[in-house]
Every structure is written in structure tokens, then in C-alpha cells.
Amino acid sequence: MSGFSAEWLALRERYDLAARNPTVLDTVADAFLDHPSIAVVDLACGTGSTLRAIGPHLPPRQSWRLVDNDLSLLARASALGRPPHLAVNAKPVDLVRDLELALAGPLDLVTTSALLDLVSPEWLDRLIVEAAARQLPVYAALSYDGRALTEPGGVFDVELVAGFNRHQRTDKGFGPALGPMAAARAVERFEHFGYSVVQGPSDWVFGPDDRDIQETLFAGWAELGLLTTTMTADEIARWLAQRRAYLAQGRSSLRIGHVDVFARPIATR
């Protein structure tokens, strides 16, 4: 269940790719160095960006099960170009109801990107229990951690970021979401269930030339601010106008905090 539009996924993909933590990704790659092939399931795959991002770091023979409940996104994912040794099966699955189905069959690795901050503590535990029962490593990238730094700073930045963070804790279809606490909770729970964990920051970093994605984020914060803060509509409109002015002047920069996690069973198969 990606919950994102194809347009948003396309806009963010190159920033996601640049943000992925290289130490965590190297650890994923090293875990499979001696494997001639690998079978991967990608949960909430969207249009297949995780495959595109990490496929070059994995063994040459790859079988991917791409799972999402959005049929239009799955259609885009299934249309991916096929290198000679890449097999892709795009599978519609409701991860709330049928997580176990998504993980069924022979697998070597579970991946997901930008998902854990959308799920509930209960669903996260369910994922970890199911992965642990199968002795499967899990690579969970790009979980939002609540940090957002704007330059130049402005009046009401803090209030609107706080409002966005409150919204991140609301139900996204999996129950009340972990939001900014997702990565820390995931590390704690994986370790509890007998995993070793490598983690690292994977922040989005937007400079003055990255106007479209900053505009999209600022507009989203403003829209949510009406629901999640005590600010008036006029105050929010003035804030958004100022942020847009910084963008037009080529002065706006933005850092959004994310965390990557790779969890591997200590008793590996």
C-alpha cells in the first residue's frame, strides 16, 4: 500500500536515490556477495524505485516480487525494462490483510521504502515476526524521522512542521501510524526479535534549484496546517507566499530527515 501518486513518486525518485545511506546499502550488498542469485519481495513497491535503486548492488540473477495494492502503480512497475537475468512479478496484495501472502514462498530479502512511518506499531511487529519466522533480512529505507530544516528560516516554519508531524501519526490504513518514531521503533523491535541492525541517515537535501519538490512539500504543509495547527488561514497563506518568494529568488534550501535500516537475523541461514 504505497498511498502515493505516480507523479509524486516520479518527482521524489532521484532524491530518494541520492539520499539512500551508502553504509547501509553496502551492508545489504555485502550480505549477498557469495549468492549467485537472489529472490526479493518489495513491499509497497510503487512504480519499482527500490528495484531500480538497489538492483545494481545485488547478485546478477534476481527475482523480484513487487507488491502493492495500487493497480495503476503496479502496471508501471511491471513495465520495467528486463535485463537478461532479472525476473519481475508484480502482485496486487493488501498488506493490511494479507502480509503473510506477500511473504510466502522462497525469499532471500524483504525490502521496502518510505513505508514504516505510515504503519502502526502492531503492523510493524507483525512484519518483524513474520520475517523472523522465515529468518529473512529486511532492508527498510527512507523512513521519515520528523526533522525538517528550512533555509532561510521563517516565521511559523516550526509550527507547520509540527503540524505535519502530528498528521504523520494519524491512520494511513494500517492503524495509528508510527510517523517520526518509525525508524527508532523498528531498530528496537528488530533487536528484540534477534536481529543485528545497521542504520544511518538518508536525508533529502534540496538546494535552490530543486524548486518543484520544495513547492510540493511546502504546499502540502500549508494544506495540513489548517487541520493540525492553531494558525489561521491568513497566517498560513502569508507563510506559503514567503516560502514561494524564497524559491523564486533562488534562496530556498530544505533538508528532510530520513533513516535507512538493514536488519539481519543473527542466526543466519
pLDDT in tens, 64-88: 999 999 888 888 887 765 667 889 9
How many residues make up the chain in this entry?
A: 269
Q: What is the pLDDT of residues 3-12, one digit of tens each?
A: 578 899 999 9
pLDDT at 197 over 50: yes
Q: With contact defined as beta carbons under 8 Å apart, do 117 and 2 qualify?
A: no
Cell numbers given for 181: 518514531
CA 47 to chain centre: 13
pTM of this prediction exceeds 0.85? yes
Instruction: Please report which helix (H) or strand (E) contains residue 224, including its range.
Output: helix 211-228
Q: What pLDDT is recorded for position 178?
A: 98
pLDDT at 128: 98
pLDDT given for residue 145 in this prediction: 97
Average pLDDT over residues 8-34: 97
Rounded-to-10 torsion of CA 224, 230, 234, 237: -30
Whether residue 260 contacts residue 199, with contact meaning beta carbons closer than 8 Å, is answered with: yes
Given this model, what pLDDT does residue 81 score?
57
Angle, CA of 189, 130 and 125, to the nearest 5°: 30
